[in-house]
């Protein structure tokens, strides 16, 4: 797998087409300034470029305000609706590089780290990144952090495995390579063992949502593990020192349903 350096969530072709705006009815469209490209627009997690303003920063960001299937959301402790079709994960240990995107730290695999087969699609892992505190809440409660394993298909469909994290007593050795990369962005040859990094309990909550950073593209399948992982206070502190308060607020759920299922995991 060719190494990819991706933005805060994923550098892919937009899943939905965006529309450029022209001039007003009284002025030719050619005189209106072109909308800024999404990659050129500065955004942040507070102030005039924060989440409440994302939809106004660029035409490509319109879904951040106008979308009706945005992420994150508040999840139930256990969803009432149950899935009968379960995803299958095939994981292979590999190595990768830590990348500072300006909004989070990514761990980008050099090789095939994991593949998810679901809904007649094959999703490959592109990168892992974190948010602090967690973006998704459970029964209104945020956890200490949240990790996103961003997977995509060749035609640009996206599935994100979400792993919530809370502070525990002991160091989590399986997550230490990610912590090392957060401490020193640009570090290469960091071990990535997806099977070891995921929670032992295969139960998850699934729903249809969006990217949680601009352009907030919808059509993203979210699979959030029910069981959080635990990190030591020292590991949490390293993440906090890298990026603190880089979580988008919870978005309206609307009429979307959350479903509960289980994942089958195999190690290659």
For 192-231, what is each residue's pLDDT tens digit?
Answer: 999 999 999 999 999 999 999 999 999 999 999 999 999 9
Which residues of the chain are under the pLDDT cut of 70? 1-39
Mind giving me the DSSP string for 34-86?
Answer: PPPPGGG----SSGGGSGGGHHHH-GGGTHHHH-SS-S--EEPSS-SEE-SS-
pLDDT digits 0-9 by tens, 127-163: 999 999 999 999 999 999 999 999 999 999 999 999 9
The SS3 call for residue 195 is: helix
What is the per-residue pLDDT for 56? 95
Q: What CA–CA distances, in Å, run from 133 to 64, 151, 165?
A: 20, 22, 9
What is the per-residue pLDDT for 2? 37
| Predicted TM-score of the model (pTM) | 0.86
What is the per-residue pLDDT for 221? 97
Alpha-carbon distance of 178 to 174, in angstroms, equals 9
What is the per-residue pLDDT for 39? 55
What single-letter DSSP state applies at residue 24?
-
Alpha-carbon distance of 169 to 122, in angstroms, equals 37
The C-alpha torsion from 257 through 50 and 109 to 2, rounded to 10°, is 100
Domains annotated on the chain, with CATH: 16-66 (no CATH), 68-267 (3.10.200.10)
Alpha-carbon distance of 183 to 241, in angstroms, equals 8
What is the per-residue pLDDT for 6? 40
């Amino acid at each position: 797998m060719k190494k990819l350096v991706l933005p805060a969530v994923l550098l892919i072709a937009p899943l939905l087409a965006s529309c450029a705006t022209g001039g007003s009815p009284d002025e030719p469209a050619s005189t209106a300034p072109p909308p800024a490209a999404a990659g050129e627009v500065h955004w942040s997690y507070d102030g005039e470029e924060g989440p409440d303003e994302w939809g106004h920063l660029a035409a490509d960001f319109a879904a951040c305000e106008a979308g009706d299937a945005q992420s994150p959301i508040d999840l139930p402790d256990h969803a009432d609706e149950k899935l009968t079709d379960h995803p299958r994960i095939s994981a292979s240990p590999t190595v990768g590089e830590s990348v500072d995107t300006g909004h989070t730290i990514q761990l980008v695999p050099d090789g095939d780290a994991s593949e998810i087969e679901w809904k007649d699609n094959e999703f490959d892992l592109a990168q892992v990144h974190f948010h602090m505190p967690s973006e998704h809440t459970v029964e209104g409660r945020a956890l200490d952090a949240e990790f996103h394993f961003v997977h995509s298909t060749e035609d640009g469909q996206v599935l994100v495995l979400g792993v919530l994290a809370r502070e525990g007593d002991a160091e989590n050795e399986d997550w230490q390579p990610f912590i090392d990369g957060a401490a020193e962005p640009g570090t290469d040859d960091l071990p990535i063992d997806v099977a070891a990094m995921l929670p032992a309990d295969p139960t998850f909550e699934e729903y249809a949502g969006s990217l949680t950073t601009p352009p907030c593209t919808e059509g993203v399948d979210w699979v959030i593990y029910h069981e959080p992982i635990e990190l030591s206070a020292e590991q949490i502190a390293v993440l906090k020192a890298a990026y603190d308060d880089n979580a988008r607020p919870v978005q309206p759920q609307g009429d979307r349903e959350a479903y509960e299922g289980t994942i089958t995991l195999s190690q290659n």
